[in-house]
Copies of this chain bind each other. A is one copy, B any other.
Amino acid sequence: MHLDHLVTSKQLTRTDIETVLDRAAEIDADPSSVADRYTDTVLGLLFFEPSTRTKMSFDTAMKRLGGDIVDMGSVESSSVKKGETLADTVRVIEGYADALVLRHPQQGSAQMASEFVDVPLVNAGDGAGHHPTQTLLDLYTIRENASLEDLTIGVMGDLKYGRTVHSLAHALTNFDADQHFISPESLQLPREVVYDLHQEQEGAQIREHDSLEEILPELDVLYVTRIQRERFPDENEYQKVAGEYQIGPDHLEAASDDLTIMHPLPRVDEIAPSIDETDHAAYFEQAHNGVPVRMALLDLLLSGDGGDDDE
């Protein structure tokens, strides 16, 4: 794998993805093998909007590799408030760090920033744009709990606004997965995403449903996402829709014994707590997988010849 920066999962070929997942599996199996690998390495965290989970996960990943982090802190306390451009900010901070992780509310910001720095930069979410490490940890979780070969996956909830869902769907076309999208009509996948998926997939199914029942028994994986209250002008309408796209113990009777349930978290009511203790529940494991997957990615970026890095 030759990567200078990771801006979008679309950069990644199937082979690239498998390289990251294989490395993550090695690290997961024997974390001590890399625990002192990057003792002199400092990772710069630039989070221009809050994200506890992603930030803690990168932070932990770097520390589990023996390295350390420097954190820009919140935008309120930063030079951004004084009118500094993102290009200037990243060029200053690359002088402190051996690699950068950037989250920024503006779509395209990670691509732009990556053009100004010589150290590896990882996009940790750029608004409505991309969040490739989320996709990688989702793929890793699917591979560990089911298989990326001959996969039948259902994705349920808010499919219209879900960056996570779009990225995962695109990535899964590399593996010819059968993909089923379950949502209320108002939260369906955007038409252009459906069109792209049909273009990208070869021989696999891309289908949309308005109810889980008809497709649940066929699924290897059910990926649930949160339906956000603020998408609905009317509270009653929200309650009605949200209630239909929740999963509880009753549903499991119709599901395969091997069904894996995933969720990018945080959840609110989409998955009943009683499911947590069943073998179906993979969402906490999914969150935990952020660490080995990000360790693997950082390892591959830091150990490779990181492009025209002049340090």
Interface residues of chain A, those whose CB is within 8 Å of chain B, are 31-32, 35-36, 39-40, 42, 44, 50-53, 55-57, 59-60, 63-64, 68, 70-74, 76-79, 82-84, 87-89, 91-93, 95-97, 226, 265-268, 273, 284-285, 287-288, 290-291
Please indicate the chain B residues that have their CB under 8 angstroms from the CB of A84 in the complex. 265-268
- How far apart sit A53 and B60, CA to CA, in the bound complex (Å)? 23
Please indicate the chain B residues that have their CB under 8 angstroms from the CB of A74 in the complex. 77
The contact of A79 among B64, B87, B92, B266, by CB within 8 Å, is B266
A and B contact pairs by CB, cutoff 8 A, 11 listed: A35-B40, A52-B73, A53-B79, A56-B93, A60-B70, A68-B68, A74-B77, A82-B266, A84-B266, A92-B287, A95-B285
Please indicate the chain B residues that have their CB under 8 angstroms from the CB of A87 in the complex. 273
- How far apart sit A52 and B72, CA to CA, in the bound complex (Å)? 6
Please indicate the chain B residues that have their CB under 8 angstroms from the CB of A266 in the complex. 79, 82-84, 88-89
Please indicate the chain B residues that have their CB under 8 angstroms from the CB of A68 in the complex. 63, 68
Flag if B83 contacts A268 (CB, 8 Å).
yes
- How far apart sit A265 and B87, CA to CA, in the bound complex (Å)? 13
Q: How far is the CB of A30 from chain B (nearest CB, A)?
A: 12
- How far apart sit A60 and B42, CA to CA, in the bound complex (Å)? 8
Flag if A60 contacts B97 (CB, 8 Å).
yes
Please indicate the chain B residues that have their CB under 8 angstroms from the CB of A285 in the complex. 95
Flag if A96 contacts B52 (CB, 8 Å).
no
Flag if A56 contacts B96 (CB, 8 Å).
yes
- How far apart sit A55 and B78, CA to CA, in the bound complex (Å)? 10
- How far apart sit A139 and B208, CA to CA, in the bound complex (Å)? 64
Please give me the residue from chain B that is nearest to A96 by CB atom: B60
The contact of A73 among B55, B57, B70, B76, by CB within 8 Å, is B55
- How far apart sit A129 and B238, CA to CA, in the bound complex (Å)? 37
